[in-house]
Amino acid sequence: MRRRELLTLPAFLWAQSTPIRNLILFTSDGLRWQDVFNGIDPKLMGERAAHMHEARHLRDRFWREAPEERRAALMPRFWGRLAGQASISSEILVTNAFKVSYPGYSEILTGRTQDDVIRGNEPKQNPSESFLEVLKRHWRLDRAQAAVIASWNAYEWMAQKTPGSLEINCGYTNIGGSPRMEELSRMQHQMMSDEPETRHDWITFEIALEYIRLHKPRVFYVALDETDEWAHKKRYDRYLQMIHYVDECLDRLWTTVESMPEYRGSTALVVTSDHGRGSTLDTWTSHGSRIPGADRTWLAVIGAGRPPVGELAKRQCDIAPMILRMAGAAT
Ligand SMILES: [Zn+2]
């Protein structure tokens, strides 16, 4: 073998590895890489302006001297059990111009920026196919096998080019199929958040777990929202608690995956966020084109088919092509 071929061997081997059978995407809106990778933020953790003046219990619980210890305190399952079978990057560049949610989710889902069409969060059907739709076609799945469970009602138009092509349950929408689903559908109207378009993440995640057990979807997207909501409200205390909850969700999701033969050993779990936010006391609450740092987010690929760290997506628009390669569905 010539030297040049030897040098390209690792990438070749990854590209030819067994395609994954199932793909799960999990996002938590506006969850900063700073908190995921460094744990509780010393610039915010004592500040009244971040509502941390009465949160001594959270400082006691999550503060450690070293960033590696802090992040393990805040996200113990992610940095413990899951990181051992993951490729993780804290440097994913958001390339759309706006650094708000719909342009970010669209960039993740379609692998492209569409700055001339998707300029903010206005309701507008995505003009491009999402990788969820591409995988559904490639794997010849029924609608129930390609599903999105989300807190924010915008997924009806963000996640699919063709309305009705995916099974989508988002916002305050009821869902049936089991007594548990009916109970959760009732509960979401009894414990409403103060956002009219967004239900509590707890409801969304419990519906997602029940959906996996009932339907065993091969393309599945779980989208949580409250990290962004609490950050906008300048509540670093609640934001930290939500990150700790996200950590628990990831652990429960992966435990469920590993307990089912349809998923064990053949499933990739991709975890990311739609945009970054600022890194100072003034800017951590916000994002958008004028906020320094809003263009940087993070990515973890857990389980089967994951690329080596050096071959992970580097830009948000590279995530969908990376997933299609993992699924053997790249064009
Ligand atoms: Zn936001």
CATH number for the domain that contains residue 234? 3.40.720.10
Is residue 164, in this structure, part of any structural domain at all?
no
Is residue 214, in this structure, part of any structural domain at all?
no
Output the CA 246–ligand 1 centroid distance in Å. Answer: 17
Count: domains in the chain: 1
Output the CA 207–ligand 1 centroid distance in Å. Answer: 23
Output the CA 268–ligand 1 centroid distance in Å. Answer: 27
Placement of tokens 């650094």 in the chain: 99
Is residue 203, in this structure, part of any structural domain at all?
no
Output the CA 199–ligand 1 centroid distance in Å. Answer: 15
Output the CA 292–ligand 1 centroid distance in Å. Answer: 15
Output the CA 141–ligand 1 centroid distance in Å. Answer: 33
Output the CA 215–ligand 1 centroid distance in Å. Answer: 32
Output the CA 114–ligand 1 centroid distance in Å. Answer: 19
Residue pLDDT tens, the chain, 331 long? 444 444 444 555 555 478 999 999 999 999 999 999 999 999 999 999 999 999 999 999 999 999 999 999 999 999 999 999 999 999 999 999 999 999 999 999 999 999 999 999 999 999 999 999 999 999 999 999 999 999 999 999 999 999 999 999 999 999 999 999 999 999 999 999 988 999 999 999 999 999 999 999 999 999 999 999 999 999 999 999 999 999 999 999 999 999 999 999 999 999 999 999 999 999 999 999 999 999 999 999 999 999 999 999 999 999 999 999 999 998 7
Output the CA 52–ligand 1 centroid distance in Å. Answer: 20
pTM of the model: 0.95
Is residue 61, in this structure, part of any structural domain at all?
yes
Output the CA 280–ligand 1 centroid distance in Å. Answer: 16
Output the CA 101–ligand 1 centroid distance in Å. Answer: 7
Burial class (CB in 10 A: 0-12, 13-18, 19+), 135: buried
Under a CB-based contact definition with an 8 Å cutoff, are residues 204 and 222 in contact? Answer: yes
Is residue 118, in this structure, part of any structural domain at all?
yes
Q: By residue range, what is the domain housing residue 85?
A: 20-142+221-326
- Cα distance between residue 214 and residue 286, in whole Å: 38
Output the CA 286–ligand 1 centroid distance in Å. Answer: 7
Is residue 190, in this structure, part of any structural domain at all?
no
Output the CA 21–ligand 1 centroid distance in Å. Answer: 33
Is residue 259, in this structure, part of any structural domain at all?
yes
Output the CA 287–ligand 1 centroid distance in Å. Answer: 7
Give, to the nearest 10 degrees, the angle between helix 131-138 and helix 319-326: 20
Is residue 255, in this structure, part of any structural domain at all?
yes
Output the CA 232–ligand 1 centroid distance in Å. Answer: 6
Output the CA 322–ligand 1 centroid distance in Å. Answer: 26
Under a CB-based contact definition with an 8 Å cutoff, are residues 277 and 291 in contact? Answer: yes
